[in-house]
Chains A and B, each alone.
Chain A
Amino acid sequence: MQGLKMVLNMIDLTTLEGKDTPGKVKQMCYKAQHLHDSYPGLPTVAAVCVYPSMVGVARKELRSNTVKIASVSTAFPSGQAPMSVKLEDTRFAVSEGADEIDMVISRGKFLAGEYNFVFDEIAAIKEACGKARLKVILETGELSTLDNVRRASDIAIHAGADFIKTSTGKIQPAATMQVTYTMLMAIRDHYDRTGIMIGMKPAGGISTSKLALHNLVMVKEVLGDQWLSNEWFRFGASSLANDVLMQIMKTETGVYQSPDYFSMD
């Protein structure tokens, strides 16, 4: 139960579709603050995650500050745009009120061995973020090997990432346990060397409570209890919340639940 509530509180409730509208984002923002009102005492999610164009809408809807606003940027999801566009994209999202920026790395450059380019790009975006925290999406599904995942993690961490994140959610495979584990190891090694904590966000494919708990166990075993808060660990997910809610209600009532009883926004 403690684990399940923790999961809820670590979710970045996400909508990243071409067909997103202010209406859709408004509904999601309401859900983010009212997960399941008929069961009191539940936490809110950690943040909502939207496109830059929707940050303004979300800012208006999320009056309290408990739910943060994360925005993807840098020509998400492909990252195939000139630097100027990526910087502008980032600055726009921040100026609209984003608390967190989820950027994508240039995978093509990375795979071509241009690691300095990748590093410099992350550093530049970090600067553009100002006070917003920077999550760096490695898109591990395109990196093909765990060695690459590790190398990309190290680059992102050294370039100034506050969080490293597995995937955009647009590419399969996304946040597999092996990938997350590899990234957690990079975070741990960095911490052991420098004492600096880096956050972790697996995203894509974690849609059940069970998978989410697997992830929490990994975090606990690899990094320790101090990472078990939404300051240092997030789930990027669109449908995880309701599954967790169903499990919480099942634990509470002893009866298996139906999705019919949980609002979909």
Chain B
Amino acid sequence: MKSIILTTASRTLLPLLILFSVFVLLRGHYLPGGGFIGGLIASIAFILHAFANGLKKSRFLLRIHPGFLIPTGLLLALGSAIVPIIFEGLPMMTGVWYPETLPVIGKVGSALFFDTGVYFVVIGVCLTIIFTISEQA
């Protein structure tokens, strides 16, 4: 399924889509979006790239095995859940925030890190599943 148009387009689309997915992730706390949707968009970006350019190239582009993203994300989410216990002495998963409001992102807090963890897990899961299956097929 090699098509020059798709191949060329996908090269440009990949960074754009990734950027978009990060955007969706970050704005999730205020507008529609979030870790799940961002993660799915990012996965679709990679899968599109894989279809256009072949699995090898996408894997090379990703550098690491997508499976590694799963524990990374889980640890990030777990970490953000534990942070309040360690630093503030609050119950698990209590939201803690950096007092200043940052531009673009808004308030930064443990919830954002949690959502980022979700984002990584979703990318990891989707890519692991699709890549593994398409290698076998």
Partners in one complex: no
Chain B residues with a Cβ under 8 A of chain A: none
